[in-house]
Amino acid sequence: MTSLSPMRLQVLWNRLLAVVEEQGQALIRAAFSPIVRECGDISAGIFDCDGRMLAQAVTGTPGHINTMAEAVKLLLQQFSLQSMKPGDIYMTNDPWIASGHLNDFLLLMPVFKDKQIVGFTSCTSHLVDLGGQGMGPEGSDIYDEGLCIPPCKLVDQGQINSLLLDIVKANSREPVANEGDIYALIACCETGARRLIDMMGEFRLDDLKPLADYIIQTSLSGTRRAIAEVPNGLYRSSLRIEGYEEPISLHAALTVSDEEIHLSFDGTAPCSAKGINVPINYATAYSVFALRCIIGSDIPNNAGSLEPFKVTAPENCILNAQRPAPVAMRHTIGQLTPDLVYGCLSQALPDHVPAEGASCMYDLPVRNTPDASRESVFALELVFNGGTGARPSRDGLSATAFPSGVWGSQVETTESAAPVIISRRELRTDSGGAGKFRGGLGQHIEMRSSNADDILLFLSVERTRFAARGRQGGMSGATGSIRLGEQGRPLPAKGEVRIPAGETLVFETPGGGGFGSPNDRPPEAIAHDLREGLISKDHARDLYGFALEEDT
């Protein structure tokens, strides 16, 4: 192996990032389910022989990426390197190992060069249906929610475990999609492995250790320098949310020292009886992601840049659910943890942290009713996003996925994959919180059955009662709402709902909070928002004091 100078190591690092991005794109291109193919609900990564994540695909959700970073270490404790053979691939969907609920499958593949393991490729993606209660919060424990697969060998020296695949298909309302998505995950691992070996051959590398150590140490040092710029101290915040049975409070305490940040969820409400509970791996994934968006955001995400962040929570609080708690809709609350964390961090870095946003994506799993006609059997998961909070120097982003990164479902794809019609989809005027910088807008969407069959909808959303709060004088964004018909009865934020054929489901996603006083918003920005229909004349007058002549 040739000597690796710092410049050469940096080139290799950049090349590794390109390799893992191609790995992720292979998964998206090969996937069957729209939530993967169209929405990017995935992760892909490359790891060294010690299970340290060296690189991750840019496309992917923090809930998949950062849980994958720890899951690989857990799998390597169960399967020894000595037992692994070329062509082996391991798999699990255990929520406390993989990504927090049963629908996410995680794969791990050893990469061999000259008969020696040089590293691993891994990936995660969402499978649309695994039986049971499915993607809804109604389960009373994990056994209600579908098929749980412990860590096992999916592919043995290139031969797929056909019995395991048959079991997955037999326990799904979408067996063809599940089979296709599993093969897509396999292709993702294999693509990453081939490209990694090609890279090592091109640069005459016998192993990844010098590159791995460089990546980890460089990232760790850079992250520690970034942490050192945050004032030391203890910062606390809380967040009031709807919950399921009753409103609950989330609590956080952020301790910043010279080289490390510790986040504690002590004081957070206990677990719910329904499936909105969050395993600690998922809560950690989004919390650390939020911190890294502010602290050392220019440093690539890997084991080194993640190491200085520690997260703890009392057992059986809603952010540290223990087996066998129901966790199907863990993202409902898990994706609110960045706003909880930012409540702490804004005290230390008031000019760096955005206002609260919609945060929790409006995830709308739909499927046929038990009495539906044979032509109407389907299971589909739709994703729609609200507005992000305004930033310290810019407006929030409208209809944008933060923190999940899951792109919104497309109208054409949805209508081609299920018997539904989306008749209206537009931004919600006046939904962004007023401020010097305005919060991002939510969406107004209308959907109905395209035939004579009813549709089952499994709701688990937030921000319908407690709006995204503004920061530094900014105002709150609009709350979300779900109802039948434009003036129809409101639907609960959580639970199973039957949409009768012929009736229209209307749902509006929340807006983000504003940043800074509305009195400080430039008149030209207000005029622009009026011209674009982002705010109404009444909103401009009442919240910004911006009056227009009748003929203007």
Distance CA 55, CA 305 (A): 11
Q: Which residue has the tokens 């593949």?
A: 109
Which is it for strands 309-312 and 261-264: parallel, antiparallel or unpaired?
Answer: parallel
pLDDT at 550: 54
Q: Which residue has the tokens 């009662």?
A: 465
Q: Are 261 and 308 in contact (CB under 8 A)?
A: yes
pLDDT band (50, 70, 90) for residue 372: confident
Q: Residue 410 has which token pair?
A: 């497309």
pLDDT band (50, 70, 90) for residue 97: very high
Cβ-based neighbour number of residue 169 at 10 Å: 15
Amino acid, res. 149: I
The answer to which of 160-164, 314-318, 483-487 has the lowest mean pLDDT is 483-487
Judged against a pLDDT cut of 70, whether residue 549 lies above it is answered with no
Mean pLDDT of the chain, nearest integer: 94
Judged against a pLDDT cut of 80, whether residue 273 lies above it is answered with yes
What is the pTM assigned to this prediction? 0.94
The answer to which of 103-107, 238-242, 453-457, 476-480 has the lowest mean pLDDT is 453-457
pLDDT at 295: 97
Judged against a pLDDT cut of 90, whether residue 417 lies above it is answered with no
CA angle 455, 457, 460 (to 5 degrees): 175
Buried b (16+ CB within 10 A) or exposed e, 170-180: ebbbbeebbbb
Q: Residue 166 has which token pair?
A: 């048959």
Q: Are 232 and 257 in contact (CB under 8 A)?
A: yes
Average pLDDT over residues 189-211: 95
Q: Residue 243 has which token pair?
A: 């919950």
pLDDT, tens only, 214-259: 999 999 999 999 999 999 999 999 999 999 999 999 999 999 999 9
The answer to which of 310-324, 325-339, 447-461 has the lowest mean pLDDT is 447-461
Judged against a pLDDT cut of 60, whether residue 551 lies above it is answered with no
pLDDT, tens only, 14-31: 999 999 999 999 999 999
The answer to which of 183-187, 361-365, 514-518 has the lowest mean pLDDT is 361-365
Could you tell me what percentage of the chain is helix, strand and coil, using 3-state DSSP and rounding each to the nearest 5? 30, 20, 45
pLDDT at 278: 98
Phi and psi based region of residue 149 (left: phi greater than 0; alpha: psi -120 to 50; beta: remaining): beta
pLDDT at 375: 73
The separation between CA 323 and the C-alpha centre of its own chain, rounded to angstroms, equals 22
Distance CA 506, CA 490 (A): 9
Distance CA 406, CA 402 (A): 8
Distance CA 552, CA 545 (A): 16
Judged against a pLDDT cut of 70, whether residue 552 lies above it is answered with no
pLDDT band (50, 70, 90) for residue 2: low
Q: Where are the domains of the chain?
A: 6-220, 354-552
Which is nearest to 264 in space by CA: 233, 235, 285, 289?
A: 235
